[in-house]
């Protein structure tokens, strides 16, 4: 049956637009699509939840998402939870990079999704988009699979959302594929080559960070925000004294770094499955006296999960901090609105505390990242990338955050991590991708970090 709703959306297409296709699974793939919302013809299409999607396709997508979220939250249950998550994670396992070898053999994850494509997954969507083909930009590998399998008439671009990736990100016959990969770093490019993807189809663009947090090609917003947070991250001036010349060369005159009007601000963000929410409340408890004294602002990010919001709200009330201006719970019902609100919050954030998800790349905004435990193979590799560039650090026991956090601040360590993120993490991914997809302008990011 024809999808009349979608057909109406593609009837008249303006110049310099593209189809932006994500999936509504967690936050990562939609977060990567968000920077292109203004360039997306009639908005971002979620391949697993668009107007007119047939019931069979929806069931296929919902089944995978449901079990991932259940097992991610179940992971913390002793023995059984760990075993269940290990079984699921083996499905998306990333093989060790060394020794370099041919890794083009198909994986079980890849076979599962490709078999679903052959059964019709994505066929109706591509049939409708083919009536007026535009550049097809997706942030998940399955839409790239079905765009190619069902002979999409326009170019197909795939944005990679992690610092290293499983075999499923490349199609069954990668050497013959025309999918163009937009990689966040050099490691992903090298990994795709081991999977058999032709080098000419891989471009290192960097992860697409939100343009409103960058401020254009001169990075004016990003630089101003980083200069604003350096003081809070280096209250004793240890880092500023030692690296004054570096700050002057790459950021701003030292005299412009002054104490901001706001207190030290920590943003704690849970993932799309809502796991690790308890860490946020532990932080709240241990820093309660500093919050009451207005020395610390804590943002608890519930995203679009009402259950996490309710949990945070109940705990904040129980601790007598519900009316405090220095505790905020970030929650919206719709994901694109959430991303917009979250990006605004980041501009006044000094420390981002989260698991090493796609938010790993947000260190490019000059944010030091305190990492909670990785959930899944790809997050283990994201963690390694953050450690390699020196802008992320593993969380110590949150029960003692009121001790170790202030030691880190007094040493200037977190200020150094913030500046390292600004210097070494790609920042201009959204601009590079737009130029490549819409204007055929190629400008790769030079990323010397292989991890």
Instruction: Quote the pLDDT of residue 377.
Output: 87
Give the range among 90-99, 102-111, 208-217 with minimum mean pLDDT. 90-99
Average pLDDT value for residue range 405-416: 98
Tokens of 263: 């207190």
- 68 pLDDT band, cuts 50/70/90, is low
Q: Which helix (H) or strand (E) holds 408?
A: helix 401-411
Fold of the domain built from segment(s) 212-424? Rossmann fold (3.40.50)
Give the range among 24-33, 347-356, 439-448 with minimum mean pLDDT. 439-448
Identify which has the larger pLDDT, 122 or 76.
122
pLDDT tens for each residue of 278-324: 999 999 999 999 999 999 999 999 999 999 999 999 999 999 999 99
Bin 440: left if φ > 0, else alpha if -120 < ψ < 50, else beta. left
CATH code for residues 4-209+429-439: 3.40.50
Closest CA to 1 of 116, 120, 117: 120
Average of per-residue pLDDT values in the chain: 91
Question: In the predicted model, is pLDDT for residue 274 greater than 80?
Answer: no
Residue 62 to residues 25, 48, 228: CA-CA distances in angstroms? 9, 8, 43
Average pLDDT value for residue range 4-22: 64
Instruction: Quote the pLDDT of residue 441.
Output: 78
Give the range among 52-56, 80-84, 138-142 with minimum mean pLDDT. 80-84
Question: In the predicted model, is pLDDT for residue 86 greater than 90?
Answer: no
Bin 274: left if φ > 0, else alpha if -120 < ψ < 50, else beta. left
CA distance 152 to 130: 6
**pTM over the 0.75 mark:** yes
Cα-based angle 280, 207, 409 (whole degrees, multiple of 5)? 40
Question: In the predicted model, is pLDDT for residue 325 greater than 90?
Answer: yes
Beta strand pairing status for 296-303 and 136-138? unpaired
Helices (H), ranges, 234-372 = 238-242, 244-250, 277-286, 288-292, 306-318, 335-347
CA distance 24 to 2: 23
User: In this structure, what is the dihedral angle of CA atoms 404, 409, 413, 417, given to the nearest 10 degrees?
Assistant: 100
CA distance 168 to 192: 10
Closest CA to 361 of 182, 206, 149: 206
Domain boundaries, the chain: 4-209+429-439, 212-424
- On whether the CB atoms of residues 417 and 368 are closer than 8 A, the answer is yes
> Around Cβ 54, how many Cβ atoms within 10 Å?
14
pLDDT tens for each residue of 335-393: 999 999 999 999 999 999 999 999 999 999 999 999 999 988 899 999 999 999 999 99
CA distance 164 to 103: 14
> Around Cβ 14, how many Cβ atoms within 10 Å?
7
Question: In the predicted model, is pLDDT for residue 84 greater than 60?
Answer: no
Helices (H), ranges, 75-212 = 80-91, 108-118, 123-129, 141-149, 186-194
Instruction: Quote the pLDDT of residue 10.
Output: 42
Instruction: Quote the pLDDT of residue 13.
Output: 44
Asked if the domains at 4-209+429-439 and 212-424 fall in one CATH topology, the answer is yes
Question: In the predicted model, is pLDDT for residue 2 greater than 50?
Answer: no
3-state class of 369 per DSSP? strand
- 87 pLDDT band, cuts 50/70/90, is low
Instruction: Quote the pLDDT of residue 77.
Output: 58
Instruction: Quote the pLDDT of residue 376.
Output: 82
Which residue matches tokens 């997809």?
437
Question: In the predicted model, is pLDDT for residue 91 greater than 90?
Answer: no
Average pLDDT value for residue range 219-239: 97
- 448 pLDDT band, cuts 50/70/90, is low
Tokens of 107: 């994986």
């Amino acid at each position: 049956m024809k999808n009349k709703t979608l057909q109406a959306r593609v009837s008249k297409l303006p110049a310099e637009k593209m189809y932006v296709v994500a999936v509504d699974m967690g936050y990562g793939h939609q977060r990567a699509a968000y920077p292109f919302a203004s360039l997306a013809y009639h908005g971002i299409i979620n391949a697993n939840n668009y107007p007119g999607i047939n019931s069979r396709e929806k069931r296929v997508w919902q089944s995978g998402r449901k079990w991932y979220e259940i097992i991610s939250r179940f992971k913390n249950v002793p023995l059984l939870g760990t075993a269940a998550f290990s079984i699921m994670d083996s499905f998306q396992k990333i093989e060790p990079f060394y020794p370099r070898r041919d890794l083009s053999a198909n994986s079980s994850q890849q076979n599962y999704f490709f078999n679903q494509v052959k059964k019709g997954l994505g066929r109706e969507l591509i049939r409708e988009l083919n009536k007026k083909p535009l550049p097809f930009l997706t942030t998940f590998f399955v839409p790239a699979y079905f765009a190619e399998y069902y002979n999409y008439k326009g170019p197909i671009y795939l944005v990679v959302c992690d610092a290293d990736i499983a075999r499923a990100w490349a199609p069954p016959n990668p050497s013959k594929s025309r999918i163009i990969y937009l990689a966040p770093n050099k490691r992903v490019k090298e990994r795709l080559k081991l999977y058999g993807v032709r080098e000419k189809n891989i471009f290192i663009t960097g992860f697409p960070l939100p343009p409103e947090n960058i401020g254009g090609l001169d990075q004016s917003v990003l630089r101003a925000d980083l200069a604003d947070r350096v003081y809070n991250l280096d209250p004793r001036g240890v880092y500023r004294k030692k690296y004054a010349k570096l700050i002057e060369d790459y950021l701003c005159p030292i005299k412009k770094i002054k104490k901001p009007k706001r207190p030290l601000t920590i943003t704690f963000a849970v993932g799309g499955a809502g796991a690790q929410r308890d860490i946020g409340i532990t932080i709240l408890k241990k820093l309660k006296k500093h919050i009451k004294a207005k020395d610390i602002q804590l943002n608890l990010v519930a995203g679009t999960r009402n259950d996490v919001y309710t949990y945070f709200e109940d705990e904040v009330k129980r601790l007598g901090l519900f009316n405090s201006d220095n505790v905020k719970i970030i929650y919206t019902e719709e994901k694109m609105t959430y991303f917009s609100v979250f990006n605004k919050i980041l501009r006044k954030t000094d420390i981002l505390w989260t698991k090493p998800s796609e938010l790993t790349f947000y260190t490019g905004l000059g944010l030091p990242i305190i990492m909670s435990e990785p959930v899944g193979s790809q997050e283990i590799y994201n963690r390694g990338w953050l450690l390699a560039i020196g802008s992320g650090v593993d969380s110590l026991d949150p029960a003692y955050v009121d001790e170790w956090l202030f030691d880190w601040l007094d040493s200037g360590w977190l200020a150094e991590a913030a500046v390292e993120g600004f210097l070494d993490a790609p920042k201009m991914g959204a601009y590079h991708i737009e130029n490549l997809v819409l204007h055929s302008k190629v400008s790769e990011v030079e990323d010397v970090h292989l991890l």
